[in-house]
Chains A and B, each alone.
Chain A
Amino acid sequence: MTTEPQDTALVDHPLEVLTDAGLTQPPSPLDRVRTVLHRYPALSPALVLILSMIAFGLLNDRFLSTANLSLVVQQVAVIGALAIGQTLIVLTAGIDLSVGAAMILSTLVAAGVATDHGWPGPLALFAALVIGVATGVINGVLVTRLNLPPFIVTLGTFNVFTAVALLYSDGATTRGIEMPGLLTWTGKSFTVGGAQITYGVVLMILLYVAVAFALSQTSWGRHVYAVGDDSESARLSGIHVTRVILSVYVTAGALFAAAGWILMGRVNAASPNAGVDANLDSITAVVIGGTSLFGGRGALWGSLIGALIVGVFRNGLSLAGYDPLYQTLAVGVLVIVAVSVDQWIRKARA
């Protein structure tokens, strides 16, 4: 080969390959930081989470108490679960604005069939799952078969699902005591070392473990990344791109139904008014968690960290006595900072 000897020595160090590709100056410390963040997308949100917890701990010593932290986790469970499905969709370079509406619709159907038609708990839960999967099929088919942008499709289905949910329930809330116990079981809790943990939180974590496993250990997961990274390359590599995208929307739909189960336990009701912020909050969690809106890059655990960051900011600011509006303001600033950081990190591409 005509390769110069240093060429082979350099390949193990991406930084220096960058220099090899045309940069004349050695990488600055900032470039090094960027390359590390580029490689481990969950790293920067993890740092933000730790720093914000220290900061809020200093502002109010009640913040770091076991009781408060377990409350934060419970508050985060619904958005955290929604963020799993949202992450899958964002990884394929899509976005889902209908997640909250799909979740609410599934809870209202579960409550409806249980109270109006006397379906037993497991069957009502199964109905919710079917509804969740159906919303995923609708979004997925519109995105893949009609080739419409996910943003537009889910903006439309967000309105459709919301309207159907209100029509089905007549806008009425079903209280927890009227429903079979199984539907609100996720709100029950047990205590470990002084920390109160709901079954909903456990369910959310199990879902993270299962989906993270599928993403990192199976060819399906690899194809999800490849499709989001460069769908044309994926197609030429023999991956059935539309099948992968469809499977992502359907899986996400099932996950939104699971999030709905956690929600019914959390608020002890099935209400058309619950979780109105859920659409944007799930996207916020994913973006703050380091998953790129351009697809193909990100780590699922980052989304849990992102959801926790939002929870920590909301809880910490309210404990420190700030007006709730400042929570919304802080979350908005966080999103813009997170997307800016993502843009900056993406420039590390050779």
Chain B
Amino acid sequence: MTTSTATSTPILEARGLVKTFGHVVGLAGVDLELHAGEVLAIIGDNGAGKSTLIKCLSGAYTPDAGQILVEGRPVEFHRPDDARRAGIETVYQTLAVSPALDIASNLFLGREQRLPGVRGSVFRMLDKKGMRDRAKQQVEDLGISTLQSMTQAVENLSGGQRQAVAVARAAAFGSKVVILDEPTAALGVRESAQVLQLVRDLRDQGMPVILISHDMPQVFEVADRIQIQRLGRRAAVITPQTHTPQEAVAIMTGAMVVT
């Protein structure tokens, strides 16, 4: 990927997304652009359309109107698998990890690798050691130092470590975009800091991240650009350099209008 294409064509783009639920309008024509190597935060009050927007991007909802483009190509998502195949990985608030399975098994859950030769093709044997090694490599490449042994059951991990497992899985396997839905909502101060560091590490490796968060100081600490949703529309896109958190809240609540 060259720098010129990365800046001209967004990795992920949404144009005029509309999603209604009966009489309730979730999205009233929302645009979004995500470029390579940036953290785009999405903030907004409850009911502003944050989750609906994310669910359209991750394939959980199909928008009524509008277009989603991955690297400039239009795509259509009907289920989460479609988005995943297009390279969009979502870390849900519930994390979607299997507590009783170990870290390596969780990283490869749903895309296990088999041994070469007869053992893999006839006996369908898993390449357990290979997956462990690749999991370790993946975790090291991401600079995650809180996960040591890949054979540890996820249920024995702390909240921050579980989040790290979910993020590592999302960032692995050639994904192009990682969406994090309220990744620190259930975490303590120290663990939140670890997750934010992880977000920065992902960005520094060129992986664009969409971060949904309620935590204003956190958003201003880690985001490159901030998209503010209000009443199912994009109210503004600001940066931490041009606006203060107070102004962001004002835009969110409608007290301030950006044109």
Interface set of A (CB-CB < 8 Å, partner B): 1-3, 7-8, 11-12, 14, 17-18, 20-21, 39, 213-214, 217-220, 222-223, 225-226, 229-230, 232-234, 236-239, 296-297, 349-350
Contact = CB atoms under 8 A, between A and B. Distances in A.
B237 interface: no
B146 A226 contact: no
Given A11-B157, A218-B126, A296-B98, 6 more contacts: A11-B152, A21-B158, A234-B109, A234-B110, A349-B155, A350-B156
Given A218-B126, A222-B112, A225-B98, A236 B145 contact: no
A1 B159 CA distance: 16
29 contacts: A1-B143, A1-B197, A11-B146, A11-B152, A14-B152, A17-B157, A21-B159, A218-B125, A218-B126, A219-B114, A220-B124, A222-B101, A222-B109, A222-B126, A225-B101, A229-B100, A229-B101, A230-B97, A233-B94, A233-B96, A233-B98, A234-B98, A234-B109, A236-B80, A236-B94, A236-B96, A237-B98, A238-B81, A349-B99
B124 A219 contact: yes
Contacts of A14: 152-153, 156
Interface in B130-164: 143, 145-149, 152-153, 155-159, 161
A264 B133 CA distance: 49
A284 B20 CA distance: 51
Contacts of B229: none
Contact of A219 (B126, B193, B194): B126
A215 to B, nearest CB: 11
A230 B125 contact: no
Nearest to A214: B124
A218 B124 contact: yes
A340 to B, nearest CB: 20
Contacts of A214: 124
B194 A237 contact: no
Contacts of A17: 156-158
Nearest to A17: B156
Contact of B95 (A12, A219, A233): A233
A236 B92 contact: yes
Interface of B: 80-81, 84, 92, 94-101, 105, 109-112, 114, 123-126, 128, 143, 145-149, 152-153, 155-159, 161, 190, 193-194, 197
Given A3-B145, A14-B156, A222 B105 contact: yes
A interface secondary structure, majority: helix
A11 B156 CA distance: 9
B124 A226 contact: no
Nearest to B97: A233
A241 B27 CA distance: 30
B194 A230 contact: no
| Cβ-closest 7 pairs across A and B | A238-B110, A219-B112, A236-B96, A14-B156, A11-B148, A237-B110, A233-B96
B229 to A, nearest CB: 24
B156 A18 contact: yes
Contacts of A3: 145-146, 194
Most buried by A among B81, B99, B159: B99
A1 to B, nearest CB: 5
A220 B110 CA distance: 10
Contacts of B194: 1-3
Nearest to B58: A236
A285 B230 CA distance: 58
A46 B197 CA distance: 46
B156 A226 contact: no
A214 B146 CA distance: 32
Max chain B Cβ within 10 angstroms of own Cβ: one of A2, A214, A233:
A233
A232 B96 contact: yes
Contacts of A220: 124
B157 A350 contact: yes
Nearest to B143: A1
A12 B149 CA distance: 6
Contacts of A39: 153
A237 B148 contact: no
B121 to A, nearest CB: 12
A296 B99 CA distance: 9
B75 to A, nearest CB: 17
Contacts of B114: 219
Nearest to B111: A238
B109 A296 contact: no
Contacts of B112: 219, 222
A237 B109 contact: yes
Contacts of A2: 190, 193-194, 197
B43 to A, nearest CB: 24
A230 B101 CA distance: 11
Contact of B99 (A213, A223, A230, A238): A230
A105 B98 CA distance: 37
B155 to A, nearest CB: 5
